[in-house]
Structure 1
Amino acid sequence: MRKRKWLKAIGASVLAASMLAGCGTSSNGGSEPNGAAGEGQPFENMELEVAVFQGGYGREYWDGIAESFMADHPGTKINITASPKIADIVRPKIVAGNPPDFMYISGSDNTPILDGLIKDHALLDLTELFNEPAAEGGEALKEKILPGVLESPSISPYGDGKIYLAPFNYGVMGLWYNKALFDGKGIKAPATWDEWFQLNAAAKENNRALFTYQGLYPGYLEEMIVPAIYSVGGQEALDQFFNYDPEFWKSEAFTTVWGNLERIASEDNALMKGTVALNHTQAQTAFMQGQAMFIPNGTWFEDEMKDAPREDGFQFGFLGVPAFQSGDPVLALTNVEQMVIPAKAKNPELAKEFLKYVYTDKSVQLNAEKSKAVMAVKGAPDLAKSSLSETTYNVYKAVDNGMMAVAGTFKPVAKGSKYNPSEEVYSPISSLMNKQMTLEQYSSKMVEIYTDIQAELAQSGTES
């Protein structure tokens, strides 16, 4: 199943390469020190409580970076609590007003706790921290972060430009193809949707359909839908989509993007036969065996399917998502994990110093070595290169070198809502692809649902 560890959004941005570096250390001192840290700057409290999600990435990175931090900041002590169910561990502490000093929260079972902290305004304002010099010195810490990340709603959740969540690992999603086939046959990767559909002729010549997807899990289609919405209507359209504006379902963005899906379902040879009934493994294997030219997926794809059968010479190739207009950039969906410091943390100054340390070059390299992950930091793919497969490295470099990255996440619904927005939006696509539902029916259904969700939010007092 897809490893959706990269939760929340970074907003639309062109992610450029280059790495900022320097020397020296910055720290935030307390008034009554009992030890030294950094460049001799003291902290009031030298002990830090850190709670982290222990999922597919494990906990080795966090143990390693804590050890490195303590060595570089003599006298400090970091206590790591790691668990796949980290929310269950920290929730009682948060309720009691005694949260950890620093948290990395991920995993679908855990992330609702972040929504609660945001709703309760219970996170520390990190804006000034990102304006300070990085731990290595030089320019401000914010200059190390990929463009657009710090401005996104999931990092700056109140729309006031202030930063309350810090970005961590990120993943890249879009359409994939067999690079060996394309190179061997001289097939050019499409930059627009018109070019993409024109490749149906090449698909036929090579005895395959143009497209397949993980039919029983139509949520995978967000990896092409979200960038496509941005391609048509920009951030305004994405905001409508993710914030439950019923007008989205009457807009050009809807008719163009979902019209693309309807075209795939209707055009001869465009959709691989039987796709809608396939699970993720079946569809991905069929793609790798040469039954379809393209499939949506993310940077976990190669590792997830490392033992799956494939056609001779198969090589993973990442396309991204084509643009609708010639000359517009190819896009990709990018999700970013988050780190936070609770507002009631007992040791916020040392927590901030530790957060800055997470963005150092050696931390980025250690994270790649121990977790095979890439942080949302400029130049991170090159720092992580020795720990990544060639395919994964090339995907991250495509984004790092200028592929436009967009992302988004649905605004939290009202507490107790009967709606799961992702399910409501993506599940009906199966009926569209089976030609059991028209675009007009789809639109009408979603206008009703978005209107209901807005009404629930208004009644609960959380309307935007």
Structure 2
Amino acid sequence: MGPTDVNRRDLIKRAGAAGLVAVPAMSMLSACATGDGGGDNKVAKGEKSKDNPLGVNKDAPLDFVIFDGGFGTQYGKDAAKIYERKYGEVKLTATQKIRSVLQPRMVGGNPPDLIDNSGAEDMDAAALAAKGQLTELSPLLDAPSIDDPNTKVRDTLLPGTIEMGQYGDEKVWRLNYAYTVYGQWYSKKLLEDNGWEYPKTWDEMLALCAKAKKKGIAGWTYAGQHPYYIPFTLYPFIGKIGGPEVLKNIDNLEPNAWKQDAVKSAFEAYHELAAKGYVLRGTPGLDHIQSQTQWTKGKCIFIPNGSWVENEAADTTPADFEMAVGPVTGLDDSDKLPFGTLWAQAGEPYIVPAQAKNPDGGMEFLRILLSKQSAQNFAKLVKSLTCVAGATDGMEAEMSPGLASASQVLKAAGDNVLNPRIFDWYKTLHKEQIGSVLAELMAGRMKPAEAMNKCQEYADKTAKDDSVKKYKHA
């Protein structure tokens, strides 16, 4: 999901209008769960010290697989150089096919020491954790941070980061590195050149889209081939209308959660965009790169996306585009949450396999990534925030337009930051099933009431499926 879903191939086989048949689950984690080859092949422990709090074997090599997506790989290469100054050589492998490349190694008991488990072919971390395939990361979180030996790593992280790695208890199984701001991305220049104001209510949104249509500019586009992009604005829209509990009910697979009034209002609003011709023609057939390119060409105003888009769309973005992200447009004054509410959370998940030869090295590499030096380097390279609190303070003058905008809206949101979990708790439900329904809704091929019923049907099937581990908000 999010930065974890950039530069991916299309794994969603959208159902036809007649059927909406769900695609089989992407993961084959039952195979991972049964693989126990290799036995205990871990390298010898190193001696713990003030400079080596995790006891890394300084002579042991480190096997690191990084996802080659919207964030690129340079930030990982730079961190590897820092690691190698104190420890063994880093073997860095870049790929977009995380599951295809690594599943055989997970099954065979010979996984890498650290994995950037991202992209369309990411492995289901929740399932891996449930099957004992991951290293618990408390030793990393309780270790002293590189910047301040008197401060634990866990105390340097933005709110919600640790929670994103938990699955029903206090144990932490993954570390999400990037801090993604989701919302309605747009060009400030386009709005300013036309004298248009950013819409705060849905009536204002429709009025803006009508004005744009008269000038041959669409209101919206999105990644039609990847309809799970639509929730980047739809989920926080639902939460803004009805409050956080509405999203928690959806996450918890509560009966009739998809039939709540806030969902109905949001579905009707989005359906109206299609019904009134405010969605860029041909959008259902576009992938994420194509839709972003149409957007940067000025063919439309808004695109639902995450803060990785500035880096991913850099090649097609005009120098004076003034890329920005806005919080979700609300419905009206009856909304439970104020304007400025948005969805922001830690993404780009890193995991250390339980059967890794050098798990201490994997955690130490993460400790390096969580230093201010690496966090600032990441921000400069890929125009996105990390989960390290305050890492970019004082960098405002150096920030790119999109990064500066993301930082500003995050600060302005204050406590009104939503954190839905359906996308990572129930990946198949979110990506393939809900995604296929939203594709039909936004293409105008399905009415809101039917879409709500179909989403609820899929959620109910997931709730009744004993093979799917269930999670609950506290």
TM-score if structure 2 supplies the norm length? 0.74
Question: Residues 217 and 301 of structure 2 are in contact (CA less than 8 Å); yes or no, is this contact kept in structure 1?
Answer: yes
1:294 paired to 2:294: no
Q: State whether residues 54 and 364 of structure 2, in contact with CA within 8 Å, keep that contact through their aligned partners in structure 1.
A: no
2:57 pairs, out of 42, 45, 50, with: 45
Secondary structure of 1:427's aligned partner: helix
Q: Which residue of 1 aligns with 2:274?
A: 265
Give the unaligned 5+ runs of structure 1: 8-31
Counterpart selection for 2:163 from 137, 151, 171: 151
Report the CA distance between 1:372 and its aligned residue. 5.2
| Aligned-pair CA distance for 1:255 | 0.6
1 CA distance for matches of 2:186 and 2:140? 42
- Could you tell me how far 1:315 is from its partner in structure 2? 3.5
2:82 to 68, 75, 83: 68
> Is the alpha carbon distance of 1:330 and 1:53 closer, same or farther for their aligned partners in structure 2, counting shifts above 3 Å?
same
Identify which of 361, 368, 374 aligns with 1:363.
374
TM-score under structure 1 length normalisation = 0.76
1:327-365 C-alpha deviation (Å, 9 max, x unpaired): 343314545012223334454445444332221111213
Query: 1:243·1:410 contact (CA, 8 Å) conserved in 2?
Result: no
**Aligned equivalent of 2:138:** 127
For structure 2, the residue ranges without an aligned partner over 5 or more in a row are 8-43
Taking a change above 3 Å as real, the CA distance of residues 424 and 48 of structure 1, as seen in their structure-2 partners, is same
Aligned equivalents of 2:51 and 2:468: distance in 1? 47
Per the alignment, residue 94 of structure 2 pairs with 83
Separation in 2, partners of 1:38, 1:3: 34
Secondary structure of 1:323's counterpart equals coil
- Contact 1:48–1:101, Cα closer than 8 Å, also in 2: no
Distance 1:40 1:302 in 2: 36
Counterpart check, 1:55 vs 2:55: no
Report the Cα distance in structure 1 between the residues aligned to 2:308 and 2:83, rounded to whole angstroms.
Answer: 29
Q: Give the aligned partner of residue 393 of structure 1.
A: 404
SS across alignment from 2:185: strand
CA contact (8 A) 1:65 1:366 kept: no
Instruction: Supply the distance in 2 between the matched residues of 1:40 and 1:3 (Cα, whole angstroms).
Output: 31
Q: CA deviation at 1:247?
A: 1.4
Aligned in 2, Cα 1:163/1:212: closer, same or farther, shift over 3 Å?
Answer: same
Structure 2 distance, partners of 1:385, 1:50, is: 35
Match of 1:318 among 320, 325, 333: 325
Q: What amino acid is the match of 1:149?
A: T
Secondary structure of the corresponding residue to residue 452 of structure 2: helix
Counterpart in 2 of 1:174?
183
Shift of 1:136: 1.9
**Separation of aligned partners in 1, 2:381 and 2:443:** 44
Query: Take 1:128 and 1:98, find their aligned partners in 2: how far apart are those partners?
Result: 22
Report the CA distance between 1:316 and its aligned residue: 2.5
Give the distance between the partners of 2:294 and 2:83, measured in 1 at CA.
47
Checking the alignment, whether the CA contact within 8 Å between 1:123 and 1:343 is kept in structure 2 is yes
Q: After TM superposition, give the deviation of residue 308 of structure 1 in Å.
A: 4.5
CA contact (8 A) 1:60 1:371 kept: no
Q: Distance in 2 between matches of 1:234 and 1:128?
A: 36
Shift of 1:262: 2.3
For the residues of structure 2 that align with 1:317 and 1:92, how far apart are their CA atoms?
41
2:154 corresponds to 1:142: yes
- Distance in 2 (CA, whole Å) between partners of 1:367 and 1:127 is 24
Q: Report the aligned-residue RMSD.
A: 3.8
Q: Does structure 2 conserve the Cα–Cα contact (< 8 Å) formed by 1:223 and 1:297?
A: yes
Task: Return the letter of the residue paired with 2:307.
Answer: T
1:151-170, CA deviations, whole angstroms, 9 ceiling, x for partnerless residues?
23xx111x223322112123
Which has the larger Rg? Answer: 1
8 Å contact kept, 2:185–2:323: yes
Alpha-carbon distance change, 253 to 127 in structure 1, aligned in 2, over 3 angstroms: farther
**CA-CA distance at 1:301 after TM superposition:** 3.6
Summarize deviations over 1:277-304 as a string: whole Å, max 9, x none. 5555665455445443323233344454
Q: Which amino acid aligns with 1:410?
A: F
Map 1:89-238 onto structure 2 (within 5 A): 90-109=102-121, 111-112=122-123, 114-127=125-138, 129-137=140-148, 138-152=150-164, 155-157=165-167, 159-200=168-209, 202-203=211-212, 208-238=217-247
The counterpart of 1:253, out of the listed 262, 267, 289, is: 262
**Cα distance in 2, alignment partners of residues 139 and 251 from structure 1:** 43
Change (3 A) 1:287 1:124: closer
- Cα gap change, 1:67 to 1:386, in 2 (>3 Å): farther
C-alpha distance 328-257 of structure 1, shift in aligned 2 (>3 A):
same
